[in-house]
């Protein structure tokens, strides 16, 4: 029923209500009267007769439903004649009961679809197993001694590089001081020779 309502809403844009929605909009007395005259109303759909005539009956008959769906015409339900005011929508399931070949073909089609879904499921399971294996490998690699050894070596190399950088800075500073001292010695040597 839900599938049919959603399909009618989507394909036709016609206002269709669940029977329960219709009943909830009524007073308690009217609800009781409708339930007495239309006991299937909670299990069906309600539509105006004018809009129902717009729905292409051939399109509906080509669909398969899990069960017959009673469609109640609002105008007929509100009339005083109290005769049953609904139509039953059956899809292809009625022909499946009466035509053995059609039933066999339907069964074969369902079996093929089942096999395809099983094959898809097997492929998904293989992919899942493969991904789980990869995750285990990643976990093992992260937690292994190799990873911690690499990190330790990296930190040692980084410390050694920092130490060498500091020594290089000291040597550069020392060279600059020696150059300055040599310049001072040269300039004081020139002054003495000029005297």
The predicted-structure confidence for 2-49, as pLDDT tens digits, reads as follows 777 777 777 777 788 888 888 888 888 888 888 888 888 888 888 887
Per the domain annotation, does 190 fall within a domain?
Answer: no
Question: Which domain does 150 fall in, by range?
Answer: 99-161
- The last residue of a domain, from among 66, 92, 118: 92
Is the pLDDT confidence value at 188 over 90? no
Average pLDDT, the chain: 80
- Distance, CA of 74 to CA of 86 (rounded, Å): 9
User: What pLDDT is attached to residue 76?
Assistant: 75
* Range picked from 8-22, 35-49, 121-135, 141-155 for highest mean pLDDT: 121-135
Is the pLDDT confidence value at 156 over 80? yes
Is the pLDDT confidence value at 81 over 70? no
Residues 9, 87 share a domain: yes
Give the confidence band of 124 by pLDDT, cuts at 50, 70, 90. very high
Cβ atoms of 65 and 90 within 8 Å: the answer is yes
Q: Collect all residues with Cβ–Cβ distance below 8 Å to 172 and sequence separation of at least 6.
A: none
Cβ atoms of 18 and 1 within 8 Å: the answer is yes
Give whole-number Cα distances, 97 to 68, 92, 100, 108, 109, in Å.
13, 9, 7, 15, 16
The residues that bridge with 45 in the sheet, in sequence order, are: 18, 71
- Distance, CA of 122 to CA of 27 (rounded, Å): 55
User: What pLDDT is attached to residue 118?
Assistant: 93
Residues 6, 25 share a domain: yes
Residues 112, 136 share a domain: yes
Residues 88, 57 share a domain: yes
From the number of C-beta atoms within 10 Å of its C-beta (0-12, 13-18, 19+), residue 133 rates as: exposed
Residues 88, 6 share a domain: yes
Per the domain annotation, does 195 fall within a domain?
Answer: no
Under DSSP, the state recorded for 27 is -
* Six token digits for residue 1: 């029923």
Residues 84, 7 share a domain: yes
Per the domain annotation, does 192 fall within a domain?
Answer: no
pLDDT in tens, 54-70: 775 655 666 666 677 78
Per the domain annotation, does 66 fall within a domain?
Answer: yes
Torsion of CA 182, 184, 189, 194, to 10 degrees: 140
Q: Count the domains in the chain.
A: 2
């Amino acid at each position: 029923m839900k599938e049919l309502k959603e399909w009618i809403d989507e394909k036709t844009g016609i206002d269709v209500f669940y029977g329960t929605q219709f009943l909830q909009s009524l007073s308690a007395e009217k609800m009781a009267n409708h339930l007495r005259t239309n006991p299937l109303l909670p299990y069906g759909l309600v539509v105006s007769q004018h809009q129902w005539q717009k729905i292409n009956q051939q399109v509906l008959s080509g669909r398969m439903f899990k069960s017959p769906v009673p469609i109640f015409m609002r105008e007929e339900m509100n009339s005083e004649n109290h005769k049953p005011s609904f139509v039953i929508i059956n899809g292809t399931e009625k022909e499946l009961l009466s035509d053995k070949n059609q039933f066999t073909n339907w069964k074969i089609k369902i079996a093929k679809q089942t096999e395809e879904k099983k094959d898809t499921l097997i492929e998904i399971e293989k992919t899942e197993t493969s991904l789980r294996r990869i995750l285990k490998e990643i976990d093992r690699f992260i937690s292994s001694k190799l990873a911690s050894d690499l990190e330790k070596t990296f930190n040692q190399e980084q410390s050694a590089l920092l130490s060498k950088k500091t020594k290089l800075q000291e040597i550069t500073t020392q060279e600059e001081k020696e150059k300055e001292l040599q310049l001072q010695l040269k300039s004081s040597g020139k002054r003495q020779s000029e005297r």
